[in-house]
Structure 1
Amino acid sequence: MENDSTKTEVFSWIKSLLAVVVLVIVCRQFLFTPVTVNGGSMSPTFQDNDRVMVLKMSEIEHFDMIVFEAPTSSDKHIKRVIGMAGDTLKVMNDRLYINDALVEEPYLEENKASSPFALTEDFEVVVPEDCLFVMGDNRLSSGDSRLYGFVPKDNVFGEVKIRFYPLSGIGLPE
């Protein structure tokens, strides 16, 4: 009798562990995944080796931070969405205009304060269908759409939702 209850208990634990493993695999495959930031192109928002959680099922909007496969390599990049399909983007005198409306970029203030140079050179582009235009927050040191062009929406893994490492920086990114 005691042997049967032990077997039942062990079997119950095995079923529970398998259920947890399957749940983790499904969540990671379809809902969210952790990503490590490489480089300083998103500084000061993210630093090299920060760890973030990416939500795969998210509606991407202007200024969201996304993880995507770069058009020039299979590397995962983290950048901020500046333009969406159909947008006309213009930067003049370090100021961003989306569809002729001036847009404030508060996430650039720290970098602007510490640089004697303009962060973003002047340009004008129209974002094609099914594409995004992305830039890093550290504009002077960011390989982004200004360098490699538009990012196809199909290359997007998801939206950065939370930083979970380092512990001192846990929280929602701005």
Structure 2
Amino acid sequence: MQIAVVIGLVVLLRVAVIEPVRVSSESMATTYDKGDVLLVDKLATHTGSPGRGDVVAFVSPQDGALTLKRVVGVAGDRVAVLDGFLVVNGARVREPFVDHASQDGIYFGTVTVPPHAVFVMGDNRANSIDSRQYGPVPLVAISGRVRLRLWPLG
């Protein structure tokens, strides 16, 4: 009986509260590498909308896989990429986690993020399928926010 209760609590926690997720691609490198295990906070979706800079989990509209990307624009923002640099509302965004040397010459025209949505991009911009391809992600599609790296330690 006690084992069933423990199993039930673990399942409830995983479904509704927290979920470990293994990074399946290099699209968030060097922040998160393929094989890293992250903890996704599912309650965060009920405590407010994600903000710029948050890394969120959602089901990709491209292939249906659980996907991790960084929020770079929220409702009403005008988002563009000019010569490899992210520009939000006319201002260049400082992104120390992006290798700008590999982004030279990348352009993406201005998009205004609609209400109840976010614009997401991978930190490894040259190796990421993200809102530049499939458009803004509806807030209802977001299943949680990444809170910490479980593996590797450090």
Rg larger for: 1
Q: 2:16 aligns with which of 30, 33, 58?
A: 30
1:71-90 → structure 2 map (5 Å cutoff): 71-90=61-80
Aligned-CA RMSD value? 1.7
> Is 1:41 equivalent to 2:27 in the alignment?
yes
Show the counterpart of 2:87: 97
CA shift in 2, pair 1:159/1:133, >3 Å:
same
Residues 83 and 105 of structure 2 are in contact (CA less than 8 Å); yes or no, is this contact kept in structure 1?
Answer: no
Deviates more, 1:142-151 or 1:95-104: 95-104
Give the TM-score, by structure 2 length. Answer: 0.88
Runs of 5+ unmatched residues, structure 2: none
Percent identity over paired residues: 37
Q: 2:131 aligns with which of 110, 135, 145?
A: 145
Runs of 5+ unmatched residues, structure 1: 1-13, 170-174
1:1-174 → structure 2 map (5 Å cutoff): 14-15=1-2, 17-58=3-44, 59=48, 60-108=50-98, 111-113=99-101, 115=102, 117-118=103-104, 120-167=106-153, 169=154
Segments of 4+ moved more than 6 angstroms: none
User: 2:68, 2:60 → 1: CA distance?
Assistant: 9
| Greater relative contact order (Cα < 8 A, sep 6+) | 2
User: 2:85, 2:38 → 1: CA distance?
Assistant: 29
Deviation at 1:132, TM superposition (A): 1.2
Q: Deviations over 1:63-97 (max 9, x none)?
A: 10011111122111111001111111122233322
User: 2:63, 2:76 → 1: CA distance?
Assistant: 25
User: 1:142, 1:152 → 2: CA distance?
Assistant: 19
Deviation at 1:126, TM superposition (A): 0.2
The structure richer in helix per residue is 1
Residues 119 and 140 of structure 1 are in contact (CA less than 8 Å); yes or no, is this contact kept in structure 2?
Answer: no
The structure richer in strand per residue is 2
- For 2:143, the aligned partner's letter is F
Q: Deviations over 1:98-127 (max 9, x none)?
A: 22233211111xx224x3x51742421001
Residues 112 and 119 of structure 1 are in contact (CA less than 8 Å); yes or no, is this contact kept in structure 2?
Answer: no
